[in-house]
Amino acid sequence: MTELEKFKLLAVALAIGLLIGLERGWRTRDRGEGLRIAGLRTYGLISVMGGLCALLAKQTGIWFMGIAFLALTLVLLVAYSKSLDKFEDLSITSLIASMITFILGALTVFGNITLTSASAVVITSLLGFKPLLHHWMNKLEEYELNATLKLLLISVVMLPILPDQGFGPWSVFNPYQIWVMVVLIAGVSYLGYFAIKIVGNRHGPILTGALGGLVSSTAVTINLSQLAKQCPSSENALSAGILTACATMFFRTLLLSSVINPEFFTLLLPALLVMSGVTYLSAFLLWRKAPEFRVDNDMALENPFQLGMALKFGVFLLAVLFLSKLLSIYYGNMGAYVLAAASGLADVDPITLTMSRMAQQGLDINVAVNAILIAVSINSGFKSLISLTVGGRALGLRVTSTLVFAVTAGFVQFSMTYS
């Protein structure tokens, strides 16, 4: 290593230390000079110290790094104990950040520039987001914490140990692939649920529709249709919320199918893009004509991470897979279409995931795409029926006319693209 290369690596180490020190120094700026464990300059020096120790370790041996790290830790502990007498601050965040800064400086000189630079940005961001993270933690309910742990249980713990091979008739039951789908749909619901939790409904039906569509556009349709009885002059705003949820569902279908089988993205994009675009446009026009509206009631969305619910989804998905294979064997393509129509009455996601997986196993991809579009159409018609029967004629006509036109336009675009 040339002298110039050493200076470059030490400069990167200094920059890393200054970055972390900038956040730490700003956080404790009210204490004044000399009244904090470490500030901007100290973090920069700690990182450079790590780099210099790494240079020495290359000549003396790696054991030198251990001695240097222990010496730094001892100095920091003494400073921390003195700080406790003055401020009674039990937080060890700055202490840990100082130790990490030393390690990042050393790793930089050892040649891990990309890793250390990215780590420094992530660590600084994590330190800076303290108020926001604490605010979220204070709003977190016990059942939501349990839901997060259950999501980690079914993904990080259970998924890797499941066998990735087919069992049963026609090898339909593949535990690993079934559980991948369960985790995938649970993850989408997780993001949508907490988006609604954090942002809330105070921003109105249009935002509720956009976020709720990630969880269940049918749940949004039912909820906002019920509000139409309480707010009879708000049909435009409520229709906009329902249509936004439906448009989000079109994009969610495209995402889920593409994750399992990337070929679906190109095939489904023209139709679903038109459906979503028409629906979003109608929602926007209705929203512009609507008076100001705020939803005070919380969305009645079931927490999607009860383990029992995840297992029920897996069983339902397995049943759809089995019936799809059975119907395709005895009735050909028509069997897949019938099942898609029946499944669309309940939910689009199971048939979407099923068709995506079966296309990987030999089902004609065009048949699978057609089945997904049928399920989307039936589900849209079902939500139109809900808006008419629950929300009333004024709300129902706005939703139904838009969805019928959007689905028709999507099928026309699909036929023109692949004719």
Q: Where are the domains of the chain?
A: 3-132, 140-418
State the Cα–Cα distance between residues 369 and 264, nearest whole angstrom.
7
Q: Running DSSP on this structure, what letter comes out for residue 158?
A: S
Q: Residue 35 gets which letter from DSSP?
A: S
Bridge partner list, 173:
167
pLDDT digits (tens, 9 = 90+) for 104-155: 999 999 888 888 888 888 888 888 777 676 666 676 667 777 777 888 888 8
Q: Answer yes or no: are the C-beta atoms of 52 and 11 closer than 8 Å.
A: no
Two structure tokens written together for 139: 């709003």
C-alpha–C-alpha distance, residues 64 and 111, integer Å: 18
pTM greater than 0.75 (yes/no): no
* Torsion of Cα atoms, 331 then 332 then 335 then 341, to 10°: -150
Would you state the structure tokens that stand for residue 257, as one six-digit string? 């199918």
Q: Which residues, in sequence order, are CB contacts of 119 under 8 Å at separation 6+?
A: 104
Beta-bridged to residue 167, according to DSSP, are 173
> What is the token pair recorded at 399?
């939703």
- Number of CB atoms found within 10 A of residue 324's CB: 24
In angstroms, what is the C-alpha Rg of the chain?
A: 28
**CA–CA gap between residue 368 and residue 263 (Å, rounded):** 11
Is the pLDDT confidence value at 298 over 50? no
Q: What is the tens place of the pLDDT at every residue in 327-381?
A: 666 666 676 677 777 777 666 777 777 777 777 777 778 888 888 888 889 889 8
Q: Which residue has the higher pLDDT, 283 or 200?
A: 283
pLDDT in tens, 173-217: 778 867 776 776 666 556 656 655 665 544 556 776 777 677 667
